[in-house]
């Protein structure tokens, strides 16, 4: 998921360089949302793993 967020961010920067401001803004928002989802998922799994006391998988 972080790779997808990074890909959206890179495409957003390239779109901004070539003058596609609307596309760049939308991809920037998508990258930000994916990043926060990945961080929230990481924190959730970290807490679940610590409270379970054993491997989740």
Range of the domain at 24: 2-52
**Residue 52 pLDDT level (bands cut at 50, 70, 90):** confident
- Residue 41: inside a domain, yes or no? yes
1-17 pLDDT tens trace = 778 888 888 888 888 88
- Residue 57: inside a domain, yes or no? no
Quick one: which of 31, 33, 29 has its CA closest to 4?
Answer: 31
Inter-axis angle of helices 21-52 and 2-17, nearest 10: 160
Residue in the block written with tokens 């998508």: 30
For CA atoms 46, 52, 54, 56, the dihedral sign is negative
- Residue 16: inside a domain, yes or no? yes
The whole-number pLDDT of residue 40 equals: 94
25-50 pLDDT tens trace = 888 888 889 889 999 999 998 888 88
| Secondary structure E strands in 1-57 | none
- Residue 45: inside a domain, yes or no? yes
Number of structural domains found in the chain: 1
């Amino acid at each position: 998921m972080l790779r997808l967020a990074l890909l959206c961010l890179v495409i957003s920067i390239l779109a901004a360089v070539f003058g596609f401001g609307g596309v760049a803004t939308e991809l920037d928002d998508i990258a930000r949302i994916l990043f926060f989802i990945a961080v929230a998922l990481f924190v959730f799994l970290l807490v679940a793993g610590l409270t379970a006391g054993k491997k989740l998988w």
